[in-house]
């Protein structure tokens, strides 16, 4: 699954640390998600999307083979 969290952060002008604090996880979790090393739970995906005031599918997208 790919995501555009990095782009969303850039638009909003916030760091990974700020996003991590806002959704209640560590910065290394955000790094792992942005790099596609970790697929977040539905709950965390909803929290991230909610923080950017977007729908989950505007941020997360299935890849071929998922």
Partner 1 sequence: MKSIVLFPNYFKKIGWVLIVAALGIWLCSEILDLDLSFLTLKVPAIYSADYPLTSDPKGGWFVYTTQDMAYTLFSVFFIVGGLLVMFAREQVEDEFIHSVRHSALIWAVSINYLLLLLAFLGLYGPVFIDVVIYNVYSILIIYILRFNYLLRISKKRALVYEE
Residue 61 beta carbon to partner 1: minimum distance, rounded to whole angstroms? 20
Interacting residues toward partner 1 by CB under 8 A? 15-17, 24-29, 31-35, 37-38, 40-41, 43-44
Residue 25 beta carbon to partner 1: minimum distance, rounded to whole angstroms? 4
Residue 32 beta carbon to partner 1: minimum distance, rounded to whole angstroms? 6
Output the CA angle 31-58-60, nearest 5 degrees.
40
Judged by beta carbon, residue 6 or residue 64, the one nearer partner 1 is 6
CA 4 to centroid of chain Cα atoms? 7
């Amino acid at each position: 699954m790919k995501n555009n969290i990095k782009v969303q952060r850039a638009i909003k002008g916030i760091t990974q640390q700020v996003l991590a604090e806002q959704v209640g996880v560590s910065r290394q979790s955000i790094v792992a998600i942005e790099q596609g090393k970790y697929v977040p739970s539905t709950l965390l995906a909803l929290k991230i999307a909610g923080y950017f005031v977007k729908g989950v599918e505007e941020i997360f997208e299935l890849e071929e083979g998922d």
